[in-house]
Amino acid sequence: MLAICRFRPGRSPGSPPTGRICQLLLATLCVAASVCAADLPRTFAIDAQGLAEVRARHARVDATAIRDVTALRAAADQLLDLKPASVLDSPGVAASGDRHDYYSTGPYWWPDPSKPDGLPYLQRDGVVNPESRTSGDMLAFRRTCESVRTLALAFFFTGDTRYGQKAAQLTRGWFLDSATRMNPNFQHAQGIPGRSPGRGTGLIEARHLMLLNDGLALLAGSTTWPVADADALRSWLEEFYRWLSTSKNATEEAAAENNHGSWFAAQRAHLALVLGHTDDAKQIITAVRDVRLPRQIEPNGSQPHELRRTRSLNYVLFNLEALILIARLGEHVGVDLWKFSTPDGRSLRAALRVAAPYVDPQKIWPKKDVSEENRTRVLPLLVEKLRHGENPASRELLRRFGDQPAGGEFWRLWSPRAP
């Protein structure tokens, strides 16, 4: 049985049917007792156990799994002709003058109309300056990371090597090829013209690296992601982890008390786990539980740092997404955020209890925000909560609103309890 459960996708569609036979045997023999641990991919933001269970359901021609994998494959097919991107593509250049340095500008900063040159830029919270989307590397970096994960998921579920090969090609273009590789730092992220060449705030854009790393974990051991490439990327990640642990920008972001600090902790803990720095990850996650969470969440479950923003619902959910991700990472190092509560009631569950009802598109958010938000973002948070104990209120919200389209997200593929 162990040999059967070590099956990994990787044969081309025209290969002998051994892979398909193994998938069917895996579904038959492993699903009842959950999928064999020896076959689980080494993912951290993605629930590897749930992913394997959904794959087994797909092999059994389960209707829901077929639906979700079909949507995934359609998205992955659209990426097969995607040209590899790099930091050399954008018209903007970092203050260092090095084209290999990542560069972006703050999204909510605009030219001062009273100044001939517009400098220094002024902040308009919640209102995105289109220049921030066209002059730097942010969109290309995010799309590369998202695409790698989408393609790797498609490879995991189908065994079609085209998806794995494309994911590897995109990764090499951004991180490994000497002519196009990005330097392993975000020193010049979210600069502000006339004010700063780069800020700690810009590290929020590095969070997409978690998608790429979980995606590549799905390719591990296959011919599509050679050991030499995996080793080269690990070297890049180690350099980035050192910068993430020691730079002035990183220190500033770590001290942020709002969603920026939460996402910094999430991405640093995730990268520590990827690289095997387990003690670091445990220390980071424990500090979130004992220090950050009580400072961010009030006894009534509100999040004052996020509520003061002009896109308050967005940032309430954004911070919750980071904290719940950290809770998942905590499972890998024995730190439980779901059971934690201060004596006066500050807890992750309290914050989610406040936000969850707004999955209902008809429920009026108490603040007048500058834009509407995608409320389906609440759904995977509810599913994650139900992994840690039955909750009638969460179950009812999922029953009523769980069939809403997920907006291109694929969290249902590793959530066996999802609608």
Would you give per-residue pLDDT tens digits along the chain (419 residues)? 333 333 344 444 444 344 444 444 444 344 434 445 557 999 999 999 999 999 999 999 999 999 999 999 999 999 999 999 999 999 999 999 999 999 999 999 999 999 999 999 999 999 999 999 999 999 999 999 999 999 999 999 999 999 999 999 999 999 999 999 999 999 999 999 999 999 999 999 999 999 999 999 999 999 999 999 999 999 999 999 999 999 999 999 999 999 999 999 999 999 999 999 999 999 999 999 999 999 999 999 999 999 999 999 999 999 999 999 999 999 999 999 999 999 999 999 999 999 999 999 999 999 999 999 999 999 999 999 999 998 999 999 999 999 877 656 799 999 977 76
Angle at 206 between CA 325 and CA 42, to 5 degrees: 50
Note the pLDDT of residue 251: 98
Residue 129 lies in a domain: no
Provide the number of structural domains found in the chain. Answer: 1
Q: What is the pLDDT of residue 188?
A: 98
Handedness of CA 63, 65, 71, 76 (dihedral sign): negative
For residue 64, being part of any structural domain is answered with: no
Kindly report the CATH number assigned to the domain that includes residue 366: 1.50.10.100
Q: Give the structural domain span for 349.
A: 256-419
Q: How far apart are CA 65 and CA 140, in angstroms?
A: 30
Query: And the tokens for 69?
Result: 């994998």
For tokens 């990327």, name the residue: 233
Structural domain contains residue 410: yes
Rounded to two decimals, the pTM is 0.91
Q: Is residue 17 part of a domain?
A: no
- Cα distances from 374 to residues 146, 250, 311, 347, in angstroms, run 18, 30, 12, 24
| 68 occurs within a structural domain | no
Q: Examine residue 350 and state whether it is found in any structural domain, yes or no.
A: yes
96 part of a folded domain:
no
pLDDT at 34: 43
| Structural domain contains residue 312 | yes
So what's the pLDDT on residue 18?
44
Neighbours of 54 (CB within 10 A): 25
